[in-house]
Amino acid sequence: MNSNLDIPWQKIYDFILSCGNVHERKDFCVEILSGLKKLCDFDQALIYFLDGNGKVSDQYLINIDKQWSTMYLEYYSKAESGFYNLMKNLRENPAKQNVKIRTWEKEPITEFVSNYIHPRGLKYSLSFVLYDINGKPRTLFVLDKTKDEYFTEKELKVLNLAVPLLNNLHKNFFFQQAIRQGEGHISWETTNLTPREIEIANLLCQGVSPDSISKSLCISQATTYKHIAHIYEKMHVSTRQELIVRLLG
């Protein structure tokens, strides 16, 4: 029997269409959770909104006391060498599946598991990330189950089909933001910058720090600062603000 026949194509289509009709990023992400509840069973959920440097700038919680999120962000995301930091190593890779699941009973008994996961009664956590136009993680979703029922094969198929489509819709918010900020009107060919320098200048204009640029592009900080020095020299500026003004005319 063809398992594709079990996939609720019409529901997925309606879900994506509903999300695509929302024009504010946070409302769009909340709509995703609302729609997923009809396609995938979960008991608790959270959304973390990340800035250009990968720091949590906002959140949205369902059936989770805010104190748990605060405890995680202020302590457990940094404890145990950041092993359970949800924002760690989230660079976009289209070749890999974006949906990940943790079975907490199979995790080693650590401080985080004993003092954070078990008191919350979590059995499974499913996560996926939506990215911006530069492939940087900007919105993180976590769906938690407190009952001992694993995510079904059908639910995982639905998520793996829907998330890439949602990711494309999500990127549009940053494309439109770039246009509103004028970045879409920069005539890069007149700047005499190399392709790598253009990439770094674009990230600088978005407020991304040199440290985050190094991590994002997998280059050393020394190399990043060398590129920035060349950019400033070619553009005859000495600060990021001057660079933005010069590039945007």
Q: Indicate the pLDDT class of residue 13, thresholds 50, 70 and 90.
A: very high
d(CA 20, CA 29): 10
d(CA 140, CA 198): 28
Using CA atoms, how far residue 56 sits from 103, 140, 175, in Å, is 24, 10, 21
Higher-scoring residue by pLDDT: 94, 153: 153
Sorted by sequence, the CB contacts under 8 Å of residue 12 that are 6+ apart come out as: 39, 158, 161, 162
The pLDDT of 141-163, averaged and rounded, is 95
Is the pLDDT score of 12 beyond 90? Answer: yes
Q: Which residues contact 66 (CB under 8 A, 6 or more apart)?
A: none
SS3 67: helix
| 1, pLDDT greater than 70 | no
Which of 5-19, 89-103, 189-203 is predicted with the least confidence, judged by mean pLDDT?
Answer: 89-103
Q: What is the mean pLDDT of residues 158-167?
A: 94
190 or 146, which is more confident: 146
Query: What are the backbone angles phi and psi of residue 26, rounded to the nearest 5°?
Result: -65, -45
Instruction: Give the confidence band of 125 by pLDDT, cuts at 50, 70, 90.
Output: very high
User: According to the model, what pLDDT value does residue 236 have?
Assistant: 86
Q: Which domains, ranges and CATH numbers included, belong to the chain?
A: 3-179 (3.30.450.80), 183-248 (1.10.10.10)
